[in-house]
Amino acid sequence: MRRRHFEILRPVCPVCRPDSGEPSPLEIGQVLAEESEHIVEGLLRCGRDTCQSEFPIFDGVPVIMPGLRVFVSTQLQQILGRDDLSEALESVIGDCCGPGTPFDSTRQQLSSYAWDHYADLDPDEPAGGPRPGSAVRVLERGLELAGELPDGPLIDLGCSVGRTAFALAERTGRTVLGVDVNFAMLRIAAGVLRRGVARYPRRRIGLVYDRRELAADLPGADRVDFWACDAAALPFADGTFAAAAALNLIDSAHAPAEVLKSMAAALGDGGKGILTCPYDWSSAATPVESWIGGHSQRGPDRGAAEPVLRKLLTAGAHPASIEGLEVLAEQEGVPWRVRMHERSVVEYAAHLVIAGRTE
Ligand SMILES: C[S@@+](CC[C@H](N)C(=O)[O-])C[C@H]1O[C@@H](n2cnc3c(N)ncnc32)[C@H](O)[C@@H]1O
Ligand SMILES: [Zn+2]
C-alpha cells in the first residue's frame, strides 16, 4: 500500500459505517515491513472506540472488507500461496491437484486475465497476440465515450491483474486505485507495481502451463495502487472519485445492484462510471435473483439485460433504481476476449454504458 494513496483517498471503516451512517477514518496501526513508499505488511485500524476493526496488509495489498474473516478463510490458499516456486515444482503441484480443483481454477483465471492484460509485453507471444489487450481497448473506448472527467482520483473496480489501472493512470495522469476481491490476481498486479514484472502461468493445454515473466515498466505506475476491496462495499467517503471503471465486473459480482449503488456513492458530482458487461451470468458468481436480466423470459423485458440496467441507472424507473445516476452514452458489441488455452479464445460482445453522477 502506498502511503500517498492512503493519504489522498482517506479510506473509511467498512464495518461500522452501515450501523452508524457516519464514516470513521482508518489509521495506519502498525507497519511491519516497508519497501520504499510501499507498506508491504502492516495493519490498518478503525479509529472509532466502539469498533476498532483491523485490516491487514499482505504482500503490499491492504484488505479493507467488511467480511474480513470470510475473505481470509476463503482465500487462504491465495494469501498463503507461494509465488517463488520453480516452474517445475509448480507444475508438479498442478498435476497432483488435477483439473477442476481450486488450484487449477485459480491458475486458469490467472492465465486468462494476465494474458489479456500483459501479453502485449511478451516477446514470446506468437504474432496475433493482443496489442494492447482487449480490456485496455474496452477501457479506451469507454474513456473516449465518457469525454471530459471532473478533477479527482479514479477507481478501477474489479481490476483483476491490474493493467487497466495502469492504462487509466497513463492516459489521464490521475491517481488511480485498482480494487478486486481475488487475492491471487491482486498479487500479480502488486508484482507489476513493486517489481516491474508481470509473472503468470500461461496455459498451453490441459494441465500444461508455461511460466511467463515479463518486464513491465509501465508509464504512470507511480500513481497506481491496488487494494482488496469489495466493489459493493467501498471503504471511501461519498464523492471521493471523479470516475470509476467497472469493466466486465457486474456479471462476476455477488450483488450487481449493490456494486452500482456503491459506485454511485463513491463518485463526486459530474463523476462518470464506465461500465461494460457481457451479461455472462453464472450462479457460481451471482445468485439468479440478483442477475440483471438473464431470467424472467416471459416478463416485460423478456429476459433482456440492457433495459433493466438502463432502468437501474435512471432515478425512479425501477423499484431498485439508483438515485443520482443517469445514462449518458451507450455502445453495443464491444469486443472483449478471454483466452482459455492456446487453442481457445472466447470473444464476447460487451455492452458499454457511461453512467453520469447527477447532483
Ligand atoms: C470478468 S473479470 C474482469 C476483469 C477486468 N476488469 C477485465 O476486464 O479484464 C471480473 C473481475 O471482478 C472481480 N470481482 C468480482 N466481484 C467483485 C467485487 N464484489 N468487488 C471487486 N471485484 C470483484 C473478479 O475477482 C474479477 O477479477
Ligand atoms: Zn469501524
Query: Is the beta carbon of 189 within 6 A of some atom in ligand 1?
Result: no
Cα 162 to ligand 1 centre (Å): 10
336: amino acid identity, one letter: W
Residue nearest to atom 1 of ligand 1 (CA): 248
SS3 for 299?
coil
Rounded to two decimals, the pTM is 0.97
Contact 301, 309 (CB under 8 A): no
H-state helical runs in 179-317: 183-195, 256-266, 306-312
Lowest mean pLDDT among 133-147, 158-172, 188-202, 310-324: 310-324
- Which ligand is nearest to the Cα of residue 44, counting in written order? 2
Ligand 1 close to Cβ of residue 322 (< 6 A): no
- Residues 38-87 pLDDT 10s: 999 999 999 999 999 999 999 999 999 999 999 999 999 999 988 889 99
Q: Please report the domains of the chain, with CATH numbers, ordered by start residue.
A: 3-66 (no CATH), 80-357 (3.40.50.150)
pLDDT band for position 93 (cuts 50, 70, 90): very high
Helix (H, G, I), strand (E, B) or coil at 143: helix
For the chain, how many residues are written?
A: 359
Q: Is 181 close to ligand 1, i.e. is its CB under 6 Å away? A: yes
Closest Cα to atom 23 of ligand 1:
158
Q: Which residues surround the ion ligand 2 when the cut-off is CB under 5 Å?
A: 13, 15-16, 24, 46, 48, 51, 53
Does residue 238 contact residue 266 with C-beta atoms inside 8 Å? Answer: yes
